[in-house]
Structure 1
Amino acid sequence: MSNNYTAIKDIFIETDDVKDFVNLDKSTLAYHKILSALQKPLKLILFYGKPGTGKTFLLCKIKEDLEKKLDVVFFPQPFFDEKEFFSEMYFQIFGQYGDVDGYESFIRLYRDYLVDKKDSGSPKQVVILLDEAQLYPPNLIEKIRFLADTRLFKILFTVHKTDEEDTLAKDYFKTRIWSSIELPNSTLNELKLYIEKKLMFHNFHQYYYMYNDENFNIIYHLTDGNLRNLNKLLFKIYELCEYYEENKPTEIGATLNQKLIEMAAISAGLIDA
Protein backbone atom coordinates (compact mmCIF):
# COMPACT_ATOMS: atom_id res chain seq x y z
CA MET A 1 0.00 0.00 0.00
CA SER A 2 1.55 3.27 -1.13
CA ASN A 3 0.10 6.60 -2.27
CA ASN A 4 0.76 10.31 -1.72
CA TYR A 5 -0.42 10.04 1.88
CA THR A 6 2.33 7.49 2.51
CA ALA A 7 4.94 10.15 1.76
CA ILE A 8 3.03 12.93 3.53
CA LYS A 9 2.72 11.05 6.81
CA ASP A 10 6.49 10.54 6.93
CA ILE A 11 6.97 14.33 6.81
CA PHE A 12 5.67 14.45 10.38
CA ILE A 13 8.06 11.91 11.85
CA GLU A 14 10.17 13.88 14.31
CA THR A 15 13.73 14.56 13.23
CA ASP A 16 16.56 16.86 14.28
CA ASP A 17 17.44 17.66 10.65
CA VAL A 18 17.64 21.46 10.48
CA LYS A 19 16.58 21.29 6.82
CA ASP A 20 13.07 20.67 8.17
CA PHE A 21 13.21 23.67 10.53
CA VAL A 22 10.01 25.74 10.38
CA ASN A 23 10.66 29.35 11.32
CA LEU A 24 7.77 30.20 13.64
CA ASP A 25 7.44 33.51 15.48
CA LYS A 26 8.16 31.91 18.84
CA SER A 27 11.22 30.06 17.47
CA THR A 28 12.61 33.18 15.81
CA LEU A 29 12.20 35.20 19.01
CA ALA A 30 13.87 32.54 21.17
CA TYR A 31 16.64 32.07 18.58
CA HIS A 32 17.57 35.75 18.57
CA LYS A 33 17.32 35.99 22.37
CA ILE A 34 19.73 33.09 22.75
CA LEU A 35 22.21 34.50 20.23
CA SER A 36 21.98 37.90 21.89
CA ALA A 37 22.57 36.37 25.34
CA LEU A 38 25.59 34.44 24.06
CA GLN A 39 27.10 37.67 22.76
CA LYS A 40 26.86 39.30 26.17
CA PRO A 41 29.27 38.69 29.07
CA LEU A 42 26.88 36.15 30.59
CA LYS A 43 28.27 32.90 31.94
CA LEU A 44 25.12 30.80 32.34
CA ILE A 45 21.90 30.93 30.35
CA LEU A 46 18.71 28.95 30.95
CA PHE A 47 16.55 27.89 27.98
CA TYR A 48 13.32 26.19 28.97
CA GLY A 49 9.91 25.10 27.74
CA LYS A 50 7.46 22.24 27.92
CA PRO A 51 8.43 18.90 26.29
CA GLY A 52 7.54 19.02 22.59
CA THR A 53 7.84 22.77 22.05
CA GLY A 54 10.83 22.34 19.72
CA LYS A 55 13.76 23.13 22.04
CA THR A 56 16.08 20.39 20.77
CA PHE A 57 15.33 21.28 17.14
CA LEU A 58 16.18 24.91 17.84
CA LEU A 59 19.38 23.89 19.62
CA CYS A 60 20.46 21.94 16.53
CA LYS A 61 19.95 25.02 14.37
CA ILE A 62 21.81 27.23 16.86
CA LYS A 63 24.71 24.76 16.89
CA GLU A 64 24.87 24.69 13.09
CA ASP A 65 24.85 28.49 12.85
CA LEU A 66 27.27 29.15 15.72
CA GLU A 67 29.95 26.64 14.86
CA LYS A 68 30.82 28.65 11.76
CA LYS A 69 32.48 31.22 14.01
CA LEU A 70 32.76 29.66 17.50
CA ASP A 71 33.78 26.37 19.05
CA VAL A 72 30.50 24.68 20.01
CA VAL A 73 30.04 21.64 22.22
CA PHE A 74 26.53 20.15 22.00
CA PHE A 75 25.29 17.36 24.25
CA PRO A 76 21.74 16.34 23.21
CA GLN A 77 21.70 13.62 25.88
CA PRO A 78 22.60 14.06 29.57
CA PHE A 79 25.75 12.70 31.21
CA PHE A 80 25.76 11.21 34.70
CA ASP A 81 29.48 10.61 35.15
CA GLU A 82 32.01 13.43 35.53
CA LYS A 83 34.86 11.63 33.78
CA GLU A 84 32.69 10.71 30.76
CA PHE A 85 31.37 14.27 30.48
CA PHE A 86 34.77 15.99 30.47
CA SER A 87 36.36 13.30 28.31
CA GLU A 88 33.67 13.79 25.67
CA MET A 89 33.95 17.56 25.91
CA TYR A 90 37.70 17.32 25.32
CA PHE A 91 37.00 15.14 22.27
CA GLN A 92 34.46 17.60 20.82
CA ILE A 93 36.88 20.51 21.22
CA PHE A 94 40.11 18.83 20.06
CA GLY A 95 38.87 15.94 17.91
CA GLN A 96 40.68 13.33 19.98
CA TYR A 97 40.49 11.81 23.43
CA GLY A 98 42.97 13.01 26.02
CA ASP A 99 44.02 11.87 29.47
CA VAL A 100 40.93 13.34 31.15
CA ASP A 101 39.56 11.91 34.37
CA GLY A 102 37.45 14.83 35.55
CA TYR A 103 37.12 18.59 35.88
CA GLU A 104 40.59 19.30 37.23
CA SER A 105 42.49 17.40 34.55
CA PHE A 106 40.32 18.89 31.80
CA ILE A 107 41.00 22.45 32.99
CA ARG A 108 44.72 21.74 33.28
CA LEU A 109 44.87 20.39 29.72
CA TYR A 110 42.76 23.24 28.37
CA ARG A 111 44.91 25.89 30.06
CA ASP A 112 48.03 24.24 28.61
CA TYR A 113 46.37 24.51 25.21
CA LEU A 114 45.74 28.22 25.78
CA VAL A 115 49.41 28.76 26.63
CA ASP A 116 50.43 27.00 23.40
CA LYS A 117 47.97 29.16 21.43
CA LYS A 118 49.14 32.42 22.99
CA ASP A 119 51.53 33.34 20.19
CA SER A 120 49.26 32.19 17.36
CA GLY A 121 46.19 34.25 18.22
CA SER A 122 43.40 33.83 20.72
CA PRO A 123 41.35 30.61 20.46
CA LYS A 124 37.67 30.92 19.71
CA GLN A 125 35.33 31.04 22.68
CA VAL A 126 33.71 27.72 23.56
CA VAL A 127 29.92 27.61 23.84
CA ILE A 128 28.44 24.55 25.56
CA LEU A 129 24.83 23.60 24.76
CA LEU A 130 23.33 21.12 27.22
CA ASP A 131 19.95 19.56 26.50
CA GLU A 132 17.96 17.75 29.20
CA ALA A 133 20.02 19.60 31.81
CA GLN A 134 17.48 18.86 34.54
CA LEU A 135 18.68 15.22 34.45
CA TYR A 136 22.33 16.00 35.24
CA PRO A 137 23.39 15.08 38.80
CA PRO A 138 23.90 18.12 41.08
CA ASN A 139 27.60 17.44 41.62
CA LEU A 140 28.23 17.48 37.86
CA ILE A 141 26.18 20.67 37.46
CA GLU A 142 28.47 22.27 40.04
CA LYS A 143 31.55 21.28 38.04
CA ILE A 144 29.96 22.69 34.88
CA ARG A 145 29.26 25.91 36.78
CA PHE A 146 32.97 26.03 37.71
CA LEU A 147 33.70 25.91 33.98
CA ALA A 148 31.61 29.04 33.49
CA ASP A 149 33.39 30.74 36.39
CA THR A 150 36.68 30.46 34.48
CA ARG A 151 35.06 32.73 31.82
CA LEU A 152 36.58 30.49 29.16
CA PHE A 153 33.19 28.93 28.45
CA LYS A 154 29.57 29.96 28.11
CA ILE A 155 26.93 27.45 29.13
CA LEU A 156 23.36 27.15 27.83
CA PHE A 157 21.30 24.88 30.08
CA THR A 158 18.14 23.58 28.39
CA VAL A 159 15.49 22.10 30.67
CA HIS A 160 11.94 20.81 30.42
CA LYS A 161 9.23 22.88 32.06
CA THR A 162 6.73 20.50 33.64
CA ASP A 163 4.61 20.64 36.78
CA GLU A 164 7.05 18.35 38.58
CA GLU A 165 10.32 19.74 37.27
CA ASP A 166 9.56 23.44 36.91
CA THR A 167 9.99 24.26 40.60
CA LEU A 168 13.07 22.07 40.86
CA ALA A 169 14.68 23.64 37.82
CA LYS A 170 14.00 27.21 38.91
CA ASP A 171 15.05 26.62 42.51
CA TYR A 172 18.28 24.93 41.50
CA PHE A 173 19.29 27.26 38.69
CA LYS A 174 17.90 30.61 39.85
CA THR A 175 20.96 31.57 41.93
CA ARG A 176 23.32 30.63 39.08
CA ILE A 177 21.60 31.75 35.88
CA TRP A 178 22.25 35.18 34.39
CA SER A 179 19.53 35.04 31.73
CA SER A 180 16.38 32.93 31.18
CA ILE A 181 14.62 32.33 27.85
CA GLU A 182 11.35 30.44 27.42
CA LEU A 183 10.03 28.64 24.33
CA PRO A 184 6.23 28.46 24.68
CA ASN A 185 3.72 26.25 22.86
CA SER A 186 2.64 27.42 19.40
CA THR A 187 -0.32 29.72 18.81
CA LEU A 188 -3.14 28.75 16.44
CA ASN A 189 -1.64 30.86 13.65
CA GLU A 190 1.78 29.28 14.20
CA LEU A 191 0.18 25.84 14.05
CA LYS A 192 -1.35 26.68 10.66
CA LEU A 193 1.99 28.02 9.41
CA TYR A 194 3.81 24.92 10.64
CA ILE A 195 1.50 22.58 8.73
CA GLU A 196 1.61 24.73 5.60
CA LYS A 197 5.41 25.02 5.52
CA LYS A 198 6.00 21.34 6.26
CA LEU A 199 3.79 20.40 3.32
CA MET A 200 5.30 23.09 1.11
CA PHE A 201 8.90 22.03 1.87
CA HIS A 202 8.07 18.58 0.48
CA ASN A 203 6.04 19.73 -2.53
CA PHE A 204 2.65 18.78 -1.10
CA HIS A 205 1.34 22.31 -0.62
CA GLN A 206 -1.97 21.50 -2.37
CA TYR A 207 -2.90 19.22 0.53
CA TYR A 208 -2.93 22.20 2.86
CA TYR A 209 -6.27 23.20 1.36
CA MET A 210 -7.88 20.08 2.82
CA TYR A 211 -7.97 21.92 6.15
CA ASN A 212 -10.72 24.38 7.05
CA ASP A 213 -10.96 26.64 10.09
CA GLU A 214 -12.93 24.04 12.04
CA ASN A 215 -10.23 21.45 11.36
CA PHE A 216 -7.51 23.82 12.59
CA ASN A 217 -9.48 24.69 15.74
CA ILE A 218 -10.00 21.01 16.58
CA ILE A 219 -6.36 20.16 15.96
CA TYR A 220 -5.22 23.09 18.09
CA HIS A 221 -7.57 22.06 20.89
CA LEU A 222 -6.29 18.47 20.77
CA THR A 223 -2.61 19.39 20.75
CA ASP A 224 -2.60 22.69 22.69
CA GLY A 225 -0.10 23.94 20.13
CA ASN A 226 2.52 21.41 21.23
CA LEU A 227 4.63 20.47 18.20
CA ARG A 228 5.37 16.94 19.38
CA ASN A 229 1.68 16.22 19.84
CA LEU A 230 0.93 17.95 16.55
CA ASN A 231 3.40 15.75 14.68
CA LYS A 232 1.94 12.63 16.28
CA LEU A 233 -1.59 13.65 15.36
CA LEU A 234 -0.75 14.61 11.78
CA PHE A 235 1.13 11.35 11.26
CA LYS A 236 -1.97 9.43 12.38
CA ILE A 237 -4.29 11.58 10.25
CA TYR A 238 -2.29 10.87 7.12
CA GLU A 239 -1.91 7.21 8.07
CA LEU A 240 -5.70 6.96 8.07
CA CYS A 241 -5.86 8.88 4.78
CA GLU A 242 -3.33 6.44 3.36
CA TYR A 243 -5.60 3.53 4.29
CA TYR A 244 -8.79 5.12 2.99
CA GLU A 245 -7.18 6.22 -0.27
CA GLU A 246 -6.28 2.59 -0.91
CA ASN A 247 -9.45 0.94 0.37
CA LYS A 248 -12.30 3.47 0.63
CA PRO A 249 -11.37 6.58 -1.40
CA THR A 250 -14.89 8.03 -1.08
CA GLU A 251 -14.22 8.54 2.64
CA ILE A 252 -11.72 11.29 1.80
CA GLY A 253 -13.43 14.51 0.78
CA ALA A 254 -12.27 17.96 -0.22
CA THR A 255 -11.77 18.78 3.47
CA LEU A 256 -10.76 16.64 6.39
CA ASN A 257 -13.60 14.92 8.20
CA GLN A 258 -13.85 15.72 11.92
CA LYS A 259 -14.43 12.03 12.62
CA LEU A 260 -11.13 11.17 10.96
CA ILE A 261 -9.29 13.75 13.10
CA GLU A 262 -10.86 12.32 16.26
CA MET A 263 -9.96 8.76 15.22
CA ALA A 264 -6.37 9.90 14.67
CA ALA A 265 -6.34 11.61 18.08
CA ILE A 266 -7.49 8.37 19.75
CA SER A 267 -4.78 6.42 17.92
CA ALA A 268 -2.16 9.00 18.96
CA GLY A 269 -3.26 8.78 22.60
CA LEU A 270 -4.37 12.41 22.74
CA ILE A 271 -7.97 11.53 23.73
CA ASP A 272 -9.59 8.42 25.18
CA ALA A 273 -11.73 6.17 23.04
Structure 2
Amino acid sequence: MSKWLEAATRFEERRDCSDYFEMQSALSAIAKVQTLLSGTFRQMIFLIGEPGSGKTFLLNLLHEKMEHERQVILIETPFITPLTLLYQLLRHKGIEPFGDDIEQLRQQTTQLYTQSDHLIMIDEAQLLSTEMREFIRILSDSKAFWFILAMHRSEGESILRAPHFKSRPHRIIELSSLTPIEAKNYIHRELMRMGFSEIIDELNPKLIAQAHRISEGNFRNFKKVFYHLFHLLHYTNTHNKAPYLRPSQCTITMAAMNAELIHD
Protein backbone atom coordinates (compact mmCIF):
# COMPACT_ATOMS: atom_id res chain seq x y z
CA MET A 1 0.00 0.00 0.00
CA SER A 2 1.40 3.43 -0.94
CA LYS A 3 1.86 6.08 1.73
CA TRP A 4 -0.89 8.14 0.06
CA LEU A 5 -3.44 5.34 0.16
CA GLU A 6 -2.51 4.50 3.73
CA ALA A 7 -2.89 8.16 4.72
CA ALA A 8 -6.33 8.25 3.08
CA THR A 9 -7.59 5.51 5.41
CA ARG A 10 -6.98 7.83 8.35
CA PHE A 11 -9.62 10.23 7.05
CA GLU A 12 -12.41 7.76 6.35
CA GLU A 13 -15.75 8.49 8.00
CA ARG A 14 -15.95 6.43 11.18
CA ARG A 15 -17.02 6.64 14.83
CA ASP A 16 -14.01 5.38 16.71
CA CYS A 17 -13.82 7.51 19.87
CA SER A 18 -10.05 7.00 20.04
CA ASP A 19 -9.82 9.10 16.86
CA TYR A 20 -11.80 11.97 18.33
CA PHE A 21 -10.26 15.40 17.86
CA GLU A 22 -11.30 17.67 20.69
CA MET A 23 -12.11 21.02 19.15
CA GLN A 24 -12.54 23.91 21.56
CA SER A 25 -16.31 23.95 21.02
CA ALA A 26 -16.47 20.21 21.76
CA LEU A 27 -14.40 20.56 24.93
CA SER A 28 -16.69 23.36 26.02
CA ALA A 29 -19.78 21.26 25.23
CA ILE A 30 -18.52 18.31 27.28
CA ALA A 31 -17.73 20.59 30.23
CA LYS A 32 -21.19 22.17 30.06
CA VAL A 33 -22.91 18.78 29.95
CA GLN A 34 -20.90 17.53 32.93
CA THR A 35 -21.71 20.70 34.89
CA LEU A 36 -25.42 20.38 34.17
CA LEU A 37 -25.49 16.70 35.11
CA SER A 38 -23.82 17.47 38.42
CA GLY A 39 -26.89 19.51 39.40
CA THR A 40 -30.20 18.23 40.66
CA PHE A 41 -32.49 20.15 38.30
CA ARG A 42 -33.19 17.74 35.44
CA GLN A 43 -34.01 19.35 32.13
CA MET A 44 -33.64 18.92 28.40
CA ILE A 45 -30.29 19.73 26.83
CA PHE A 46 -30.23 20.58 23.13
CA LEU A 47 -26.97 19.97 21.25
CA ILE A 48 -27.10 22.13 18.12
CA GLY A 49 -24.71 22.19 15.18
CA GLU A 50 -24.42 22.06 11.42
CA PRO A 51 -24.43 18.64 9.72
CA GLY A 52 -20.86 17.33 9.98
CA SER A 53 -19.97 19.46 13.00
CA GLY A 54 -19.37 16.38 15.18
CA LYS A 55 -22.65 15.97 17.09
CA THR A 56 -22.84 12.20 16.59
CA PHE A 57 -19.18 11.75 17.48
CA LEU A 58 -19.66 13.84 20.62
CA LEU A 59 -22.65 11.75 21.73
CA ASN A 60 -20.61 8.58 21.30
CA LEU A 61 -17.75 10.14 23.26
CA LEU A 62 -20.11 11.16 26.08
CA HIS A 63 -21.46 7.59 26.10
CA GLU A 64 -17.95 6.22 26.49
CA LYS A 65 -16.89 8.78 29.11
CA MET A 66 -19.99 8.47 31.29
CA GLU A 67 -21.09 4.86 31.06
CA HIS A 68 -19.17 3.99 34.24
CA GLU A 69 -20.72 6.89 36.17
CA ARG A 70 -24.37 6.56 35.22
CA GLN A 71 -26.75 4.65 32.99
CA VAL A 72 -26.35 6.03 29.48
CA ILE A 73 -28.79 5.29 26.67
CA LEU A 74 -27.91 6.41 23.14
CA ILE A 75 -30.70 6.29 20.56
CA GLU A 76 -29.17 6.74 17.12
CA THR A 77 -32.29 6.18 15.03
CA PRO A 78 -34.99 8.69 16.00
CA PHE A 79 -37.83 6.86 14.26
CA ILE A 80 -39.44 5.79 17.50
CA THR A 81 -42.88 6.04 19.07
CA PRO A 82 -43.79 6.79 22.69
CA LEU A 83 -44.48 3.09 23.23
CA THR A 84 -41.16 1.87 21.78
CA LEU A 85 -39.26 4.51 23.78
CA LEU A 86 -40.88 3.38 27.03
CA TYR A 87 -40.17 -0.26 26.16
CA GLN A 88 -36.52 0.57 25.53
CA LEU A 89 -36.16 2.51 28.77
CA LEU A 90 -37.76 -0.26 30.81
CA ARG A 91 -35.63 -2.98 29.20
CA HIS A 92 -32.55 -0.90 29.94
CA LYS A 93 -33.52 -1.29 33.60
CA GLY A 94 -33.89 -5.07 33.18
CA ILE A 95 -37.68 -4.99 33.20
CA GLU A 96 -39.70 -6.67 30.45
CA PRO A 97 -42.58 -4.32 29.56
CA PHE A 98 -46.12 -5.61 29.77
CA GLY A 99 -49.06 -4.26 27.81
CA ASP A 100 -49.46 -1.12 25.74
CA ASP A 101 -51.10 1.29 28.18
CA ILE A 102 -48.95 4.38 27.54
CA GLU A 103 -49.93 6.19 30.74
CA GLN A 104 -49.31 3.17 32.95
CA LEU A 105 -45.95 2.50 31.31
CA ARG A 106 -45.00 6.18 31.56
CA GLN A 107 -45.69 6.20 35.30
CA GLN A 108 -43.70 3.00 35.78
CA THR A 109 -40.75 4.36 33.78
CA THR A 110 -40.83 7.74 35.52
CA GLN A 111 -40.70 6.08 38.94
CA LEU A 112 -37.69 4.00 37.92
CA TYR A 113 -35.71 6.86 36.39
CA THR A 114 -36.44 9.35 39.18
CA GLN A 115 -34.31 7.17 41.43
CA SER A 116 -31.28 6.74 39.14
CA ASP A 117 -28.39 8.66 37.61
CA HIS A 118 -28.87 8.37 33.88
CA LEU A 119 -28.59 10.17 30.57
CA ILE A 120 -30.82 9.57 27.55
CA MET A 121 -29.32 10.88 24.29
CA ILE A 122 -31.16 11.01 20.96
CA ASP A 123 -29.21 11.71 17.78
CA GLU A 124 -30.77 13.40 14.72
CA ALA A 125 -33.61 14.53 16.97
CA GLN A 126 -34.87 16.95 14.32
CA LEU A 127 -36.31 13.84 12.64
CA LEU A 128 -38.53 12.97 15.61
CA SER A 129 -42.23 13.18 14.87
CA THR A 130 -44.29 15.98 16.42
CA GLU A 131 -45.98 13.36 18.59
CA MET A 132 -42.59 12.07 19.79
CA ARG A 133 -41.21 15.53 20.55
CA GLU A 134 -44.31 16.30 22.61
CA PHE A 135 -43.98 13.01 24.49
CA ILE A 136 -40.35 13.74 25.35
CA ARG A 137 -41.44 17.16 26.56
CA ILE A 138 -44.01 15.46 28.85
CA LEU A 139 -41.34 13.11 30.21
CA SER A 140 -39.02 16.05 30.80
CA ASP A 141 -41.76 17.95 32.65
CA SER A 142 -41.82 15.13 35.21
CA LYS A 143 -38.28 16.23 36.28
CA ALA A 144 -37.32 12.53 36.30
CA PHE A 145 -35.28 12.46 33.09
CA TRP A 146 -32.06 13.85 31.66
CA PHE A 147 -32.34 14.18 27.89
CA ILE A 148 -29.81 15.37 25.32
CA LEU A 149 -31.37 15.95 21.91
CA ALA A 150 -28.82 16.46 19.11
CA MET A 151 -30.22 18.41 16.17
CA HIS A 152 -29.15 20.19 13.00
CA ARG A 153 -28.92 23.90 13.64
CA SER A 154 -31.63 25.21 11.29
CA GLU A 155 -34.26 22.58 12.11
CA GLY A 156 -33.32 22.66 15.80
CA GLU A 157 -33.75 26.43 16.08
CA SER A 158 -37.17 26.14 14.43
CA ILE A 159 -38.23 23.36 16.85
CA LEU A 160 -37.02 25.34 19.86
CA ARG A 161 -39.20 28.28 18.86
CA ALA A 162 -42.31 26.10 19.32
CA PRO A 163 -44.28 27.20 22.43
CA HIS A 164 -44.16 23.80 24.19
CA PHE A 165 -40.33 23.88 24.12
CA LYS A 166 -39.72 27.61 24.38
CA SER A 167 -41.72 27.89 27.60
CA ARG A 168 -40.01 24.93 29.32
CA PRO A 169 -36.64 24.95 31.13
CA HIS A 170 -33.90 23.78 28.80
CA ARG A 171 -30.29 24.44 27.91
CA ILE A 172 -28.78 24.89 24.44
CA ILE A 173 -25.20 23.85 23.71
CA GLU A 174 -23.81 24.79 20.30
CA LEU A 175 -21.00 23.15 18.34
CA SER A 176 -19.13 25.64 16.18
CA SER A 177 -16.91 25.17 13.16
CA LEU A 178 -13.32 23.99 13.07
CA THR A 179 -10.96 26.99 13.36
CA PRO A 180 -8.02 27.35 10.95
CA ILE A 181 -5.54 26.56 13.75
CA GLU A 182 -7.55 23.50 14.81
CA ALA A 183 -7.65 22.36 11.17
CA LYS A 184 -3.86 22.49 10.91
CA ASN A 185 -3.39 20.78 14.29
CA TYR A 186 -5.83 18.04 13.33
CA ILE A 187 -4.07 17.22 10.05
CA HIS A 188 -0.65 17.23 11.72
CA ARG A 189 -1.86 15.02 14.58
CA GLU A 190 -3.39 12.41 12.30
CA LEU A 191 -0.40 12.20 9.97
CA MET A 192 2.08 12.10 12.87
CA ARG A 193 0.14 9.19 14.37
CA MET A 194 0.90 7.29 11.17
CA GLY A 195 4.54 8.38 11.04
CA PHE A 196 4.04 10.46 7.90
CA SER A 197 6.06 13.54 8.79
CA GLU A 198 7.17 13.74 5.15
CA ILE A 199 3.54 14.33 4.07
CA ILE A 200 3.24 17.09 6.67
CA ASP A 201 6.28 18.72 5.11
CA GLU A 202 4.51 18.72 1.74
CA LEU A 203 1.28 20.20 3.13
CA ASN A 204 2.24 23.80 3.62
CA PRO A 205 -0.06 26.04 5.73
CA LYS A 206 -1.57 27.66 2.61
CA LEU A 207 -2.84 24.29 1.36
CA ILE A 208 -4.39 23.40 4.70
CA ALA A 209 -5.97 26.87 4.82
CA GLN A 210 -7.35 26.30 1.31
CA ALA A 211 -8.97 23.04 2.42
CA HIS A 212 -10.38 24.81 5.48
CA ARG A 213 -11.91 27.55 3.32
CA ILE A 214 -13.44 25.05 0.91
CA SER A 215 -14.97 23.04 3.75
CA GLU A 216 -16.05 26.24 5.55
CA GLY A 217 -14.69 24.72 8.75
CA ASN A 218 -17.07 21.78 8.62
CA PHE A 219 -15.19 18.92 10.27
CA ARG A 220 -16.70 16.14 8.13
CA ASN A 221 -16.10 18.01 4.87
CA PHE A 222 -12.57 18.99 5.90
CA LYS A 223 -11.76 15.30 6.39
CA LYS A 224 -13.36 14.52 3.02
CA VAL A 225 -11.00 16.89 1.23
CA PHE A 226 -7.94 15.03 2.54
CA TYR A 227 -9.49 11.59 2.04
CA HIS A 228 -9.99 12.41 -1.64
CA LEU A 229 -6.68 14.26 -1.91
CA PHE A 230 -4.67 11.26 -0.75
CA HIS A 231 -6.63 8.89 -2.99
CA LEU A 232 -5.93 11.25 -5.90
CA LEU A 233 -2.21 11.38 -5.09
CA HIS A 234 -2.09 7.60 -4.88
CA TYR A 235 -3.53 7.45 -8.41
CA THR A 236 -1.31 10.18 -9.88
CA ASN A 237 1.86 8.65 -8.39
CA THR A 238 0.90 5.12 -9.44
CA HIS A 239 0.27 6.31 -13.01
CA ASN A 240 3.04 8.97 -13.06
CA LYS A 241 0.62 11.80 -13.82
CA ALA A 242 2.94 14.80 -13.71
CA PRO A 243 2.48 17.59 -12.61
CA TYR A 244 -0.06 16.19 -10.10
CA LEU A 245 2.30 14.10 -7.98
CA ARG A 246 2.34 16.32 -4.89
CA PRO A 247 -0.17 18.29 -2.78
CA SER A 248 -0.86 21.62 -4.46
CA GLN A 249 -3.63 24.16 -4.88
CA CYS A 250 -4.62 22.29 -8.02
CA THR A 251 -4.80 18.83 -6.41
CA ILE A 252 -6.66 20.25 -3.38
CA THR A 253 -9.21 21.75 -5.78
CA MET A 254 -9.50 18.46 -7.69
CA ALA A 255 -10.00 16.58 -4.41
CA ALA A 256 -12.73 19.02 -3.35
CA MET A 257 -14.44 18.49 -6.69
CA ASN A 258 -14.29 14.69 -6.18
CA ALA A 259 -15.84 15.23 -2.74
CA GLU A 260 -18.59 17.32 -4.41
CA LEU A 261 -17.75 20.30 -2.25
CA ILE A 262 -17.12 22.52 -5.27
CA HIS A 263 -18.24 22.22 -8.86
CA ASP A 264 -16.97 23.27 -12.28
**TM-score greater than 0.5 by the shorter chain:** yes
CA distance in 2, matches of 1:48, 1:111: 26
The aligned amino acid for 1:196 is H
Match of 1:245 in 2: 237
Deviations 1:219-269 (A, max 9, x none): 11100110111121111101101112212175466x621110111111111
CA distance in 2, matches of 1:67, 1:176: 28
Equivalent residue runs for 1:98-109 within 5 Å: 98-99=97-98, 101=100, 103-109=102-108
In structure 1, which of residues 129, 139, 162 is the aligned counterpart of residue 131 of structure 2?
Answer: 139
Match of 2:143 in 1: 151
In structure 1, which of residues 165, 172, 187 is the aligned counterpart of residue 179 of structure 2?
Answer: 187
Deviations 1:177-198 (A, max 9, x none): 4211100111111111121222
8 Å CA contact 2:30–2:62 kept in 1: the answer is: yes
8 Å CA contact 1:79–1:85 kept in 2: the answer is: no
CA shift for structure 1 position 111: 5.8
Match of 1:207 in 2: 199
Match of 1:171 in 2: 161
CA distance in 2, matches of 1:167, 1:143: 19
In structure 2, which of residues 242, 250, 253 is the aligned counterpart of residue 259 of structure 1?
Answer: 250
Could you tell me which runs of 5 or more consecutive residues in structure 1 were left unpaired when the two chains were aligned: 115-121
In structure 2, do the counterparts of structure 1 residues 19 and 98 end up closer, same or farther at CA, with 3 Å as the change threshold?
same
Match of 2:56 in 1: 56
CA shift for structure 1 position 102: 6.2
CA shift for structure 1 position 208: 2.0
CA distance in 2, matches of 1:137, 1:257: 46
2:189 aligned with 1:197, yes or no? yes
Match of 2:208 in 1: 216
SS of equivalent to 2:176? coil
Match of 2:262 in 1: 271
In structure 2, do the counterparts of structure 1 residues 194 and 157 end up closer, same or farther at CA, with 3 Å as the change threshold?
same
SS of equivalent to 2:260? coil
CA shift for structure 1 position 104: 2.4
CA distance in 1, matches of 2:17, 2:61: 6
8 Å CA contact 1:46–1:177 kept in 2: the answer is: no
2:78 aligned with 1:78, yes or no? yes
CA shift for structure 1 position 3: 1.1
8 Å CA contact 2:86–2:106 kept in 1: the answer is: no
Could you tell me which runs of 5 or more consecutive residues in structure 2 were left unpaired when the two chains were aligned: none
8 Å CA contact 2:110–2:142 kept in 1: the answer is: no
8 Å CA contact 1:47–1:180 kept in 2: the answer is: yes
CA distance in 2, matches of 1:31, 1:206: 34
CA shift for structure 1 position 143: 1.6
Equivalent residue runs for 1:227-246 within 5 Å: 227-246=219-238
| More displaced stretch, 82-91 vs 40-49 | 82-91
What is the number of equivalent residue pairs in this alignment?
261
In structure 2, do the counterparts of structure 1 residues 167 and 180 end up closer, same or farther at CA, with 3 Å as the change threshold?
closer
